[in-house]
Amino acid sequence: MLRIETDDGEVGWGEAIGDLHQEVEQALNAIGERVEGSPIHDITNLIQIQRKNRFWRDGPVLETALSALEMALWDLKGKLLGAPVHDLLGGRVRERVRVYRNLWGRSPEEFADSAKEAISNSMTAVKVSPAGPTPDVISRVQLDEMEAVVSAVRDAVGPAVDLAIDLHGRLTPAASRRAIHALSKYDPFFIEEPCLPDGSASHLADLRALRTAQPVAIATGERLRSAHAFAEHLLPSPVVDIIQPDVSMVGGIRASVEIGAMASAAQVAMAPHCPYGPVQFAASMQVAATSPAHLIQEFQSLGGAGSGGGAPGGGQNWAFELLSQPFSIEMGHVEISSRPGLGIEVLEERIDEHMDMWNPHPPTVWNHPDGSHAEW
């Protein structure tokens, strides 16, 4: 998280990605030193200076640090003007935002139990990741294992709950073609990252072929870092049905809104990536409030922080609440706040009290049975 403060004591909050935490922490500290003393109202100009007044301009560490700074500046600007961020971006197009979360499990039964917990808490959509380490050409046994997870979850939630499937870029185009064919019988809401994005023309061609060959909606975008990358996926004709920008990676709130405008022009829906903390979710809610293309919002935390996040076979398992007023779900939706800025109050004392719980997980390493590396 990034905290910035004005001379008169007003505070704004932003959030960078939780991965690469050691590198990102250094970047946030460096950017904080560079912007100290800058005027906060000219947000776009300040971000442009930080991005373009240097030889190296790209990469996940720099992009997420600038994204956190941008959302913190919007939080400050809204508080100083007494208006929610979405009011400063043209006003809201909806009163509430539909949300979903990932399911946690290590077996079909645990995933099903996690799904039951979700719908018991008023959720109308969930997402499951059924793929483990997957070779370039998938076997019948591995397809059966994936099907077992998705089938158990579909049986647990019934036909009225939307079920998204995240393949997490773990499959090659060849494997994803077979997987989508096998999983389509469970009526997926969408299938996310059917193959690993690499930005190449062949990747775009593979996605376009997957999209047009079958009726299930295809989603991607959480690893894309620029408006240009999204433009390539959307224009002149879309290669997917749902685009998934991450507000903590693409440049912040305004960049996410601009990507949503491109999606709207291409008749593509937007379902932003949001697997981190409550500040990221608050910023994503401001994007959802003002973006006509917005379909549904992923969340990991509605206010919680510390160790935990999700329990296999269960629901959220945060150690403590970081927000004075956590978001709440009602009939599958979260109401859009009219409070100034991002609409949240961070309980700063909790950060110091629970600093010993800050223990980001190390990079996940998966291997195939022969010992070779597998995509996570």
Where is 263: in which H helix or E strand? helix 253-265
Q: What residues form DSSP beta bridges with 286?
A: none
Domain 89-352 has CATH 3.20.20.120: yes
Where is 32: in which H helix or E strand? helix 21-35
**Cβ neighbours for 10, distance < 8 A, ≥ 6 positions apart:** 76, 79, 80
pLDDT value of residue 295: 98
- Backbone angle region of 252, left / alpha / beta, with phi > 0 → left and psi within -120 to 50 → alpha: left
pLDDT digits 0-9 by tens, 241-291? 999 999 999 999 999 999 999 999 999 999 999 999 999 999 999 999 999
Neighbouring CB atoms inside 10 A of 227's CB total: 16
Q: Active-site positions?
A: 168, 273
pLDDT value of residue 224: 94
- For 298, how many CA atoms within 13 A lie in the half-sphere containing its CB? 27
DSSP state of 345: -
pLDDT digits 0-9 by tens, 282-323? 999 999 999 999 999 999 999 999 877 788 888 888 889 999
CB 303 within 8 Å of CB 323: yes
**Cβ neighbours for 26, distance < 8 A, ≥ 6 positions apart:** none
The string of DSSP letters for 41-78 reads S-HHHHHHHHHHSSS---SHHHHHHHHHHHHHHHHHHH
Written as tens digits, the pLDDT of the chain (376 aa) is: 999 999 999 999 999 998 888 889 999 999 999 999 998 899 999 999 998 887 887 889 999 999 999 999 999 999 999 999 999 999 999 999 999 999 999 999 999 999 999 999 999 999 999 999 999 999 999 999 999 999 999 999 999 999 999 999 999 999 999 999 999 999 999 999 999 887 788 889 999 999 999 999 999 999 999 899 999 999 999 999 999 999 999 999 999 999 999 999 999 999 999 999 999 999 999 999 999 999 999 999 999 998 777 888 888 888 899 999 999 999 999 999 999 999 999 999 998 888 877 666 677 889 989 999 998 8
| 2-85 and 89-352 in the same fold | no
CB 334 within 8 Å of CB 97: yes
For the chain, helix, strand, coil in percent to 5 are 40, 15, 45
pLDDT value of residue 360: 63
pLDDT digits 0-9 by tens, 168-184? 999 999 999 999 999 99
pLDDT value of residue 199: 73
- For residues 122 and 129, give the distance between their C-alpha atoms in angstroms, rounded to a whole number: 21
Pairing outcome for strands 373-374 and 366-367: antiparallel
Structural domain boundaries of the chain?
Answer: 2-85, 89-352
pLDDT value of residue 18: 82
Where is 298: in which H helix or E strand? strand 297-298
CATH topology for 2-85 is Enolase-like; domain 1 (3.30.390)
pLDDT value of residue 359: 60
